[in-house]
Every structure is written in structure tokens, then in C-alpha cells.
Amino acid sequence: MTADGAVIGMDIGGTTISVDLVDLAGRSLFTSSRPTGRGQEALESVHAQLAAAQKAARRAGVQVLGVGMLSPGHVDDVRGVVRFASNLEWHDLELQRQAAAAMDGSAPVAVGQDVRWAGIAEGVLGAATGLSDYALVSIGTGIAACLVSGGNVLAGAAGSAGEFGHATVAPGGDRCACGRIGCTDAYASGAALLRRYRALGGERDLRDVPTLLGVLAEDPVAAQVWDDGLEALARGLCTLTLTLDPGTIVFAGGLSGAGTALTGPLRSRLDAQLLWKSTPELLISPLGNSTGRAGAVLLALTAAEQRDQALTWDASTVRRWGHAEGRTEVPA
């Protein structure tokens, strides 16, 4: 039998929207992903994913107790409004109001900033468990960070703390999707690596970052793009380290799959740039690409006033969700 009730967590990424229906024991009842799109198309994808999760809950015979929705960009989580998300082309989107209407008042809905809640999930379920001073750096379509100091998650005056991807690391360099020049995001994000490979004359049909990493030894353009990305990331992390003084930096998102090919060169570059200050411990999240999904589910549990249920979960709980794509039956 399933634990009584379930929550819906939705992670709205720049490339993909993932939705999970998870019961209070941490078991996945349903999960689905679909391309995000931009603007109105992205909003329609959100509504389609929410409807799919609601349908799955009805088929499984469970009550939805809460909904957690994570968006990239500048998010007003008190009002549930996405103020600005450059990769989604959203401005002042009242996401919480629209989702609550779709739920017809049957469950509370909360909206949060994706990387901030990914960082919270890392502290509860991942590599930062038990740590009070750390940064979670998520590198996917874009780049952002969750900053934790003294056990407190830093949101900032306007709720936009952690926009690490938009720190300037290359004055006069490439234009970022946000409109600024020389951002970390414009050089080191997954989207930027592929864009720059094509712009600099790369001739291979590289569809993703793992493919790019696989040809570094034989493709000088790929090697140059990767080196530029590492340098930009190291410069940004140097400033972050000197400002926040985290004991640990955890990497999540698609680029974290590079493992030691990412952390090794970054450690060397940070050692050289920080000089008199020690480089923080650099770790890869055990949650991998699922930090956002875990954060969305934690937000949903919080909305449902069931956050304590997650105290018995760990990274393996989240990893098992990945094996439930499209499944709607309740596990015994």
C-alpha cells in the first residue's frame, strides 16, 4: 500500500519540464518530462504537465496534498510570481495563481526559485547534508547558485541572490541571453558551450555536452570552447569564494556529469587564482540531474505541511524516481 496522499513537484528547466508525483514515503507514483519551449509555449507545457500529474493521482487513487513548482530566474516566491526568466522569456508571470486555478483549490501551490530549492535539497538529501556553509552551483541550460551561510539560505533583498551565471567574467565578450555582456553563463553553461562551438567554426554535429567532452582530444575547437568555459567558471567561482567563503561547492545539473573532468581543472585554476585562500572542497552532487526535481518535491511537502516526511529520505530515494517514467500504478 502507498503512504496516504502524495505531492506534485515540477521542475521547470530551460530545456525540459519534469513533473513527479511522489507519496509521503518517497516512492514515485508517476514521472514525466517534456520540452519546455519559450514564452506562451512554455506556459502551456507547464499546464500540460500539471494536468498529467493530476490524472496520474486520480488513477493511482491518491489525494494530492501539495504542489511545488520551481522556475529559473528571478522569482518572487511570496507572491508566486516569476519576475524574469531570460531563457523562458517570462516577465511578471503569475505562476502560482494560474497553477492554483488549475488545481481548483484542491491543494496548496507554492512557487520557488529552482536553484535555491535545489540547494535546499542538496542540504537535506545530497552532498551538503549536515553542512552549514556551502554553495550549490547548477550548470545546465543556464548557471545559478544557491548560497548557504551559517545554515541560512540567502535569498537577497529582491529574492534574486545566487545569479552567479550573470557575473561578468569577460568584459567586452559574448552577449548573454539576459542582455548583458561577458556573463559566466555566456561561456560555461551547456547551451553556451554548444553555441560557441558552432560560432567558432566547429564542424561536428554536437547535440549535447557529453558529446563535446568526448571529442576534446581530437577536436581543437571543442578543446578551446571547453577551456574558455572552465576559465570563465573559475573566475566566477573565485569571486564567489572570496565573497561568501563557502567550505564546499557542490556541482549539479547536466554539466556535473563531467565529474573529475570538471572538478579537476577547476581546482587547479582556483588554486592559482585564490593564491592566499584555500580552495573549497569541490563535489559532484549525488542527485545529479535530479536536484531540481528533489527541490520541487520538498517545496510541495512544505506547502502541504509534510516536510518532516523527507527526514527518512536520502539520495537513493531520489535516484529511484528516474525509473518510473510514465508509471501510474501504486507500488506495493
User: What is the 3-class SS of the chain, one letter each residue?
Assistant: CCCCCEEEEEEECCCEEEEEEEECCCCEEEEEEEECCCHHHHHHHHHHHHHHHHHHHHHHCCCEEEEEEEECCEEECCCCEEEEECCCCEEEECHHHHHHHHHCCCCCEEEEEHHHHHHHHHHHHCCCCCCCCEEEEEECCCEEEEEEECCEECCCCCCCCCCHHHCECCCCCCECCCCCECECHHHHCHHHHHHHHHHCCCCCCCCCHHHHHHCCCCCHHHHHHHHHHHHHHHHHHHHHHHHHCCCEEEEECHHHHHCHHHHHHHHHHHHHHHCCCCCCEEEECCCHHHHHHHHHHHHHHHHCCCHHHHHHCCHHHHHHHCCCECCCCCCC
Q: What is the mean pLDDT of residues 188-194?
A: 94
pLDDT at 323 > cutoff 60: no
Q: How much of the chain exceeds pLDDT 70, in percent?
A: 96
What percentage of the chain carries pLDDT values higher than 90? 80
pLDDT at 3 over 80: no
Task: Kindly tell me if the per-residue pLDDT of 160 is higher than 90.
Answer: no
Could you report the per-residue pLDDT of 7-49, keeping only the tens digit for each? 999 999 888 999 999 999 999 999 999 999 999 999 999 999 9
- The strand pairing partners of 250, in sequence order, are 136, 283
Q: For 129-284, give the CATH class.
A: alpha beta
Specify the fold of 6-118+288-321: Nucleotidyltransferase; domain 5 (3.30.420)
pLDDT digits (tens, 9 = 90+) for 242-300: 999 999 999 998 889 899 999 999 999 999 999 999 999 999 999 978 999 999 999 99
Mean pLDDT of 186-206: 94
CATH 3.30.420.40 range(s) for the chain read 6-118+288-321, 129-284
Return the higher-pLDDT residue of 177 and 285: 285
